[in-house]
Structure 1
Amino acid sequence: MIVLPKLLNELLDQVDRNRAAHLALDFAQHVLGTLQERIEEPVQDACREYLAAAHEAIDLGGASPRLLKAHELLYRTAERWEGNRHLLALGAGLVMQAVRVGCQRMMEEARAHMLRSSLITVQDIARESQTEIGRWYAEQIPDEGEDRRQAARKARWEETRWQIQHVIATEPAPRKSRTDRSSQ
């Protein structure tokens, strides 16, 4: 039997730091897309811009003005929605965590306000994404009980499967080594 979470962890352990950072952002983006009907437009827009700016900053290797501006915009937008904790968990909270995977140090160096805590990994974002998707699907079931748990379990499994497929689909092909080229 294939244990998807174990396979996902093995795959994520093998990607380099920049790929892991991009994947964390992709996982958060997938949750935003899946749950977009539940997230208010201003929060969605701020989240999308923050994710795009983070992708750009990771590629550039430093905190760009765009990232700093998107960071402030998302924090200001999230503050306006502070009363709705569930909304923040679905949108801004997950995005903020995902951006930390690849941008924590560069944001600290740029002296941007960012929560200091232990570093977050792409595996953490993968698990949190699975949890959010599972929670959302379980809430669609009207009655408490086994049906809700089953819906959540299935949704988490499907999210994990999507994550594995995404890692495989986006992972660049290995480069040929010198010994591979010389043997041809």
Structure 2
Amino acid sequence: MIVLPSLLRDLLDEVDETRAAHLALDFARHVLDIERAEIEEPVLEACLVHIAAAHEAIDLGEAHPRLFRAHERLLETGMRWEGHRYDAARGVEPTLQAARVGTEQLMSDAKGYGQVSLLPCFSVAREMQARAGRWYAQRAPDGADERLAARRARWEEARWQVLHILATEPGPDDKGR
């Protein structure tokens, strides 16, 4: 039997930091697509704008004003005061978590701060699998085994991630070798 988490880790260990950053954003986008029907429209739009700005910043190698604006808009749109704490609307957390992989250091550099500890893409991949599992478990039909539904959804999300990496991996001629 293929152990998808091991295969996924092996694949992600082979990609460079830039590609890993883009993949993390792709993984979050896929979860947003799964949860789309339950994400409020202004929050969904803010998430998608943030992901696009993060992709652009990663390609440029610097945090540009559009990224900072998208980040602030996402926080303003998606964070709500609930009693004594802030809660993120659905979609905000996966977007912010995935963007951390490739933009956190860029944003820190732009603000003149020091080094930050980078979040590995594999951590984002696992969290997106867990989110997919929770989402499907909560929607399991009455009487269905929610744990089994969650397990199947996590496995399917891991399979999608592996296939996405393989489908988007540049060929040898695309890497300039």
Using structure 2 for the length normalisation, give the TM-score.
Answer: 0.89
Number of residue equivalences: 173
**Offset, 1:89:** 6.9
Give the 3 Å change call, closer, same or farther, for CA 90–117 of structure 1 in structure 2: farther
**5+ unaligned residues in a row in structure 2: which ranges?**
none
Q: Is the 8 A contact 1:90 1:132 kept in 2?
A: no
Report the aligned-residue RMSD: 2.6
Q: Which structure: greater strand fraction?
A: 2
Listed as ranges, the matches of 1:1-184 within 5 Å are: 1-79=1-79, 81-83=80-82, 88=88, 90-111=90-111, 118-143=117-142, 147-175=145-173
Give the 3 Å change call, closer, same or farther, for CA 117–82 of structure 1 in structure 2: farther
**SS class of match (2:62):** coil
Which aligned segments of 4 or more residues in structure 1 are displaced greater than 6 angstroms?
none
**5+ unaligned residues in a row in structure 1: which ranges?**
none
1:32-69 CA deviation, whole Å, 9 max, x = no partner?
01110111111101000000000000001100111011
Using structure 1 for the length normalisation, give the TM-score.
Answer: 0.86
The separation in 1 between residues aligned to 2:141 and 2:117, in whole angstroms, is 38
Between Structure 1 and Structure 2, whose CA radius of gyration is higher? 1
The separation in 2 between residues aligned to 1:92 and 1:120, in whole angstroms, is 17
**Aligned residues: percent identity?**
54
**Offset, 1:30:** 0.3
